[in-house]
Amino acid sequence: GAGVSQSPSNKVTEKGKDVELRCDPISGHTALYWYRQSLGQGLEFLIYFQGNSAPDKSGLPSDRFSAERTGGSVSTLTIQRTQQEDSAVYLCASSRGTGAKTQYFGPGTRLLVL
Amino acid sequence: SQQGEEDPQALSIQEGENATMNCSYKTSINNLQWYRQNSGRGLVHLILIRSNEREKHSGRLRVTLDTSKKSSSLLITASRAADTASYFCATDMIKAAGNKLTFGGGTRVLVKP
């Protein structure tokens, strides 16, 4: 079956603009994760969704970052008033649920803030 | 700060040689996983080892886990040029809800033909 897909693949934006990144998880996976990978910080957890439970937002770096997951499937990560330090690869992953340990990653969105 | 630290940061070997990389972590874990990443894009899951396991094999991969030392190693035997990638360990901490992963800094492996 299809894997996790993310769009866009690449995004270049100007400082101060808002961006939306999209993630389509594997069908039937109830858990969805966002991670960020940047040169200085490595791979960092951002936010986690599990079914209809309240998301775990503990990894979001600032209130400019938000995410939602509609209908328990597609998720969008929104970054408002982007800053240059937001430049990174944003990776989405999904898994069958909290009991399933293996996370399946999408190809990522490479964000460059000029 | 990251839960895991990996060493070496980079490794260059000839095809056919074995590659060994290590990961250390700080807090108690449910399990530890190794992922591979090509060209800075999506991660591919390689192997998972549970906290009550000491060694696990998958094809040319061998993973060990020493919970007393809070460390793990990944061995790739008979390496191939296609094994060139970055390798990350990731831990799923006992007190963390939802299996969110904490990654090490990664080891960049170059396998020369």
* pLDDT, average across residues A77-103: 90
Which tokens is B110 given?
């170059």
Chain A partners of B41 at a C-beta cutoff of 8 Å? 89, 107-108
Report CA-CA distances (Å) from B56 to A102, B20, B26. Answer: 16, 14, 21
In angstroms, rounded to a whole number, what is the distance separating the alpha carbons of residues B49 and B29? Answer: 11
Neighboring chain A residues of B90 at a CB cutoff of 8 Å: 43
Contacts of A29 in chain B (CB under 8 A): none
> Do the chains contact at B88 and A33, CB–CB below 8 Å?
no
pLDDT in tens, B52-110: 999 999 999 999 999 999 999 999 999 999 999 999 999 987 655 567 888 998 999 99
The answer on pLDDT for A70 being more than 50 is yes
